Structure 1
């Protein structure tokens, strides 16, 4: 029995698909290196390495191809380091390499070798993919005395490399960039924050202009960090996507939204108010995405019709046939599908024709630029008319002034949201906010 337990414990210390040490085993070796280094005056370089795959490959369903690619990468990694060094697996894109008893010159040589050997093209059975690589490095004992500190410094350097375009390395030299450190800290704290419910969901009401009633709310995720303060979604969501954590974050958000609908909206507004939830290409391309959201709604006894999914991404990805099929599946199930941020970035007029959607939502930056340049009527009116002819509803966000409100009424858009209606509210204040909005706008309508 002891022999079986030893075999079982050994397996958990090595990542099955690569045979490389897991992070737990790597940390044990790191501590051992630090103990020897303290006693015998040896240094250890900590290299945080990130492989940057094309986004379509992150959701590739060809497991055999992924396994072969991973084996090729690991094979090249092993050829770049020495026998006394350790390569550990963090996740599907990240590795930590410990360079034992290494001088700064030797460290530089190994880093340059890693860059030249790992970046570039990989061809497997006539299919070629191009990957980038970024490496950040800190050195014990010069840069820190704890594993956490040294890994964090290396990770922060890696983010600085990515900001400069990748396919390079950076060694910490006492000049840590605050933004790079912040990104590393956010990445390291994401999982802990989800596990311990440090995120909250706020809801911003939307009113329909033909009857001035609240017909929807948009769910907005928020993170108040104990040390970093308020972290905006535009900051932590890209990091979650890069590190493969966005789906877990979305599942937490979606389940929380369903719980809030069940506890606060079902009795009064179940059939009249829809809740909008943002999804990205990462969720859409997840093989079991439809099953997950349907099962969650079933768990809470909710219908598909109460949810609107707002999508925003590179149009090149949305032109993938598989994405169109998945969006059509969602629409056919009864979910509402909206294009978010229309007019700013990637979406174009042809997307209104090609994508299976119900709603087009104008980006507030696009709207504001038109208002500022006095081109609102000339540009927006034809788009609204075309959208209505296609059977689409038009939603305007970022409405902040009474003048804006009146202009959108005249332009015959369908739904508006913004600070003029209400700031985003915590769920406990949502019902009273909706009642107040309905009362206030009902009074204005009578006037």
Structure 2
């Protein structure tokens, strides 16, 4: 991580702690990190209310023996909430530590990632009495999850700077360095005229080991597997760790014919299968796993590195599909599948040129009325019929076609809004349009938006652009500038799938957002899932404090609707009210009809039917 990015993250954390402390009327808010062995805690960030003394300097190497009774619950993900410090045992180390800081009430929330305790987020009350209510704890636990996400990113970026080319766990070359080494191997093959091979070794069911024995055992196993593979290679061979449970091997100088190269590559692959499939001791246990190996031969440098990697991945996945613990070479059948994917990409190009797309609109309901719609793209292929957006949107993003497609969607949505503005009972409608990260990143995005507004004559206030959390992480100032320019014109912004990303809550203050959309995964089973209910309640409370509208997405059952209304949610979207509709169908909606439909759903819920 560069000094500038570290400073930015520290600044964002400080701002977030300030906002959190003030919102919850605390005297201090802070973060602690733990040493790898959990023997010491360090106060890394702190905010204090006016008139409250800082404790950060005295808490740079806090012996966790002073937190002994709290450490295990924190490791298990349990929040420590103490409304009255005087209720703790009189001579306990924990009480003495708190009283030395004049703390009367405290809450400490663990920052957890992959089951590991990263640190602790807390609030102190020193000047008044206090009670930590369940609603407050739920909101703070949601915040702690977001803070943990920010710390994860910080750790990842720091490692990327320190270990740009090598995997920290195994000390092997990482994927970035593999690309360079593989390019060198292809160049050497072109000069010598001799064949080589790329092997991809994937551990089968490695996830089960992590889940049953823990990540420490899993890491130890990965290190031992890396040693086994390394011992089977020649000095001239190259090995890398390319993923969590994947290793790549580059074999050079395997012979002058493809048959010789295939024989040598297959011999090594069989040796790896045999060696890794033997029981490997892990502390007091012995673990036996299988591997799937994909092989792709190369001769010269005509095949690009990226294509060679795709080929070997296809072969590896075919080995898995064949029953695991097996070896597969890349062949023309896999190439045919790849070509089919390529054909879909070509069809997508043609669909863009020939405008084979159309929009449908899913109603958004507020106070028993149709208040807006979300524009959704559909593709009807001339030969294949309806193709799911889940299939063609990823192709569009990979190829860059998402930019012209996204521009078309915006213009169509604006054109439709202009038509609705002329219809009395629809002139109030807003239309939400999903914006892809690639589309928003275009230098001329704002200029194109302004031109679209001018060309269509739409009222900018009726257009809402939906962004995702991941889009707000990088290049923050540029994003804020673009959003600010469009907001000045009247365009509004919604944050889609809120709560599913890892970004810090500080972005809610930094960006001109007007709406949050609760992801449907939190809506599911609200009546039977206390965690989903607590998260949804916390999001609604947070949005209310920031004066942001909230839309619950994916509402499908009467029970979900009743729970959401009880929690104070007023805007809904989902199949309970309507599937996505054509523009003509939207126009046939009368306010009275919709109100009756909404009341019917509520009545059914009250009657328990």
Q: Shorter-chain TM-score: what band?
A: 0.5 to 0.7
1:248 Cα shift? 0.6
Q: Deviations over 1:46-99 (max 9, x none)?
A: xxxxxxxxxxxxxxxxxxxxxxxxxxxxx99x979989xxxxxxxxxxxxxxxx
* Equivalent position to 1:326, from 482, 487, 499: 482
Q: Deviations over 1:128-152 (max 9, x none)?
A: xxxxx3348xxxxxxxxxxxxxxxx
Q: Deviations over 1:386-410 (max 9, x none)?
A: 1111111111011111121121111
Unmatched 5+ stretches in structure 1: 1-74, 84-101, 116-132, 137-155, 165-169
Q: CA 1:399–1:301 in 2, change beyond 3 Å: closer, same or farther? A: same
* Equivalent position to 1:190, from 337, 348, 352: 348
**What is the alpha-carbon distance in structure 2 between the residues aligned to residue 81 and residue 188 of structure 1?**
33
1:207 Cα shift? 0.7
1:290 aligns with 2:428: no
Given that residues 278 and 309 in structure 1 are in contact (C-alpha distance below 8 angstroms), is that contact kept between their aligned partners in structure 2? Answer: yes
Given that residues 194 and 252 in structure 1 are in contact (C-alpha distance below 8 angstroms), is that contact kept between their aligned partners in structure 2? Answer: no
Aligned to 1:351: 507
Deviates more, 1:337-346 or 1:318-327: 318-327
Q: CA 1:308–1:179 in 2, change beyond 3 Å: closer, same or farther? A: farther
**What is the alpha-carbon distance in structure 2 between the residues aligned to residue 359 and residue 392 of structure 1?**
5
Q: Deviations over 1:179-237 (max 9, x none)?
A: 645532221111211222221111000011xx311110000001122444432223222
1:233 aligns with 2:389: yes
Given that residues 551 and 571 in structure 2 are in contact (C-alpha distance below 8 angstroms), is that contact kept between their aligned partners in structure 1? Answer: yes
**What is the alpha-carbon distance in structure 2 between the residues aligned to residue 310 and residue 357 of structure 1?**
10
Higher Cα radius of gyration: 2
Q: How do 1:111-150 residues align onto structure 2 when only pairs under 5 Å count?
A: 111=301, 114-115=304-305, 133-135=306-308
**What is the alpha-carbon distance in structure 1 between the residues aligned to residue 258 and residue 425 of structure 2?**
65
Aligned to 2:67: none
Q: Deviations over 1:239-272 (max 9, x none)?
A: 2121111111111111222222233453335641
Residues paired across the two proteins, number:
313
Q: How do 1:8-157 residues align onto structure 2 when only pairs under 5 Å count?
A: 108-111=298-301, 114-115=304-305, 133-135=306-308
1:361 Cα shift? 0.4
Given that residues 379 and 387 in structure 2 are in contact (C-alpha distance below 8 angstroms), is that contact kept between their aligned partners in structure 1? Answer: yes
* Equivalent position to 2:360, from 202, 212, 219: 202
1:362 Cα shift? 0.8
Aligned to 1:428: 584
Aligned to 2:466: 310
Aligned to 2:534: 378
Find the residue that maps to 1:314 and give its secondary structure: helix
Unmatched 5+ stretches in structure 2: 1-182, 192-255, 262-296, 319-327, 604-609
* Equivalent position to 2:409, from 250, 253, 264: 253
1:318 Cα shift? 4.3
Find the residue that maps to 2:433 and give its secondary structure: strand
Given that residues 305 and 334 in structure 1 are in contact (C-alpha distance below 8 angstroms), is that contact kept between their aligned partners in structure 2? Answer: yes
Find the residue that maps to 1:290 and give its secondary structure: helix
Aligned to 2:108: none
Deviates more, 1:291-300 or 1:418-427: 291-300
Given that residues 307 and 336 in structure 1 are in contact (C-alpha distance below 8 angstroms), is that contact kept between their aligned partners in structure 2? Answer: yes
Given that residues 523 and 555 in structure 2 are in contact (C-alpha distance below 8 angstroms), is that contact kept between their aligned partners in structure 1? Answer: no
Q: How do 1:389-408 residues align onto structure 2 when only pairs under 5 Å count?
A: 389-408=545-564
**What is the alpha-carbon distance in structure 2 between the residues aligned to residue 227 and residue 408 of structure 1?**
43
Q: CA 1:371–1:321 in 2, change beyond 3 Å: closer, same or farther? A: farther
**TM-score, normalised with respect to structure 1:** 0.61
Q: CA 1:175–1:372 in 2, change beyond 3 Å: closer, same or farther? A: farther
Q: Deviations over 1:145-194 (max 9, x none)?
A: xxxxxxxxxxx959948999xxxxx9862323786455322211112112
1:356 Cα shift? 2.1
**What is the alpha-carbon distance in structure 1 between the residues aligned to residue 414 and residue 315 of structure 2?**
39
Aligned to 2:61: none
Given that residues 223 and 230 in structure 1 are in contact (C-alpha distance below 8 angstroms), is that contact kept between their aligned partners in structure 2? Answer: yes
Aligned to 2:594: 438
Q: Deviations over 1:286-332 (max 9, x none)?
A: 11111212211211211111100001252574463212222222222
Deviates more, 1:256-265 or 1:105-114: 105-114
**What is the alpha-carbon distance in structure 2 between the residues aligned to residue 396 and residue 418 of structure 1?**
8
| Higher relative contact order (CA closer than 8 Å, sequence separation 6+) | 1
Q: CA RMSD in A?
A: 3.8
Deviates more, 1:371-380 or 1:246-255: 371-380
